[in-house]
């Protein structure tokens, strides 16, 4: 299983927690972990140590070009988030598929079915959270893509690399940033939806990109079926979207104890 992350030095512990949760709950035996970064991570020795202990192979991908020098960045959205848009440039050319994950996730059930899915001609597979929101039409207007089925969250993406190599071009992305700069609220996610939303296969978010902030809405949407027991039994990817993060001491939301348990176990890896 090929895994892809894009991080900087601020979230290396979160990467390790995510990797531990994947290893604990996914039935695949062999993992290759690719980490996009703009300079060698300070915690590289620890990441190598953890990957070795988990039976994973670590592949740092240090980006030395300046492709996104003028792209909008913030504290929450550093330059590294853009690298996943052109990840195919830095990955092995014979690679067919890879799973991208944000580091603010926990994997609590098997990823194997997701990873081996049929792309059905789509370039990506991702989940949408708009069933819990009302902004779908507004996003289409804002981003200028009326052919997209919905607005996708980019925190979990299966990538069909042969198709992406053929159709996703750096000049299109840079040009879109230049035109839409001020309209990009969630920069790389907006670009993905604005340019390629119609080429993304939708997978169920309650399984593969469960927004931990929204558990009351999931419960209501399912008429009470998707309760805590259902999530523990069925959800593969818990995603801690938004500003409040479960590794912070003040975080007290529903899945805080679950995250802190995995974090504690990951810290003990030697």
pLDDT digits (tens, 9 = 90+) for 46-82: 999 999 999 999 999 999 877 776 666 666 566 666 7
Q: Cα 159 to chain center, whole Å?
A: 11
Q: Which residues pair with 124 in a beta bridge?
A: 159, 200
Parallel, antiparallel, or unpaired: how do β-strands 2-6 and 31-37 relate? Answer: parallel
Residue 146 tokens read as 């009326």
Backbone φ/ψ region at 117: left (φ over 0), alpha (ψ -120 to 50), beta: beta
Mutual orientation of helices 187-196 and 136-143 as an angle, nearest 10°? 80
Asked whether 227 and 145 are in contact (CB, 8 A), the reply is no
Determine the average pLDDT of the residues in 198-204: 96
pLDDT of residue 145: 46
Burial letters for 196-231: b for 16+ Cβ neighbours within 10 Å, e otherwise? bbebbbebebbbbbbbbbbbeebbeeeeeebeeeeb
Q: Which residues pair with 260 in a beta bridge?
A: none
User: What are the chain's domains?
Assistant: 2-267 (3.90.550.10)
Q: Which residues pair with 157 in a beta bridge?
A: 100
Determine the average pLDDT of the residues in 234-254: 94
Q: How much is the pTM?
A: 0.90
**H or E segment to which residue 183 belongs:** none
Reported confidence tier of residue 143, pLDDT bands at 50, 70, 90: very low
Parallel, antiparallel, or unpaired: how do β-strands 152-160 and 97-101 relate? Answer: antiparallel
């Amino acid at each position: 299983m090929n895994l892809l992350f894009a991080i900087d030095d601020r979230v290396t512990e979160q990467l390790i927690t995510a990797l531990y949760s994947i290893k604990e709950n996914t039935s695949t035996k062999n993992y290759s972990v690719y980490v996009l970064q703009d300079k060698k991570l300070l915690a590289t020795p620890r990441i190598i140590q953890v990957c070795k202990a988990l039976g994973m192979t670590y592949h740092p991908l240090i980006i030395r070009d300046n492709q996104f020098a003028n792209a909008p960045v913030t504290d929450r959205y550093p330059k590294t988030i853009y690298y996943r848009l052109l990840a195919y440039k830095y990955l092995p050319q014979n690679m067919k598929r890879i799973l991208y994950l944000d580091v603010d996730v926990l994997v609590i059930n098997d990823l194997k079915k997701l990873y081996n899915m049929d792309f059905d001609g789509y370039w990506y597979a991702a989940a949408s959270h708009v069933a819990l929101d009302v902004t779908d039409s507004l996003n289409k207007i804002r981003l200028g893509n009326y052919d997209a089925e919905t607005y996708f969250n980019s925190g979990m993406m299966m990538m069909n690399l042969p198709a992406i190599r053929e159709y996703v071009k750096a000049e299109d992305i840079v040009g879109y940033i230049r035109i839409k700069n001020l309209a990009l609220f969630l920069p790389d996610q907006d670009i993905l939806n604005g340019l390629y939303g119609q080429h993304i296969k939708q997978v169920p978010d309650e399984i593969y990109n469960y927004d931990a902030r929204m558990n009351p809405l999931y419960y209501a949407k399912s008429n009470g079926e998707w309760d805590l027991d259902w999530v523990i039994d069925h959800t593969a990817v818990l995603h801690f979207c938004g500003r409040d993060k479960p590794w912070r001491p003040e975080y007290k939301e529903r899945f805080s104890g679950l995250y802190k348990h995995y974090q504690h176990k990951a810290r003990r890896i030697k």
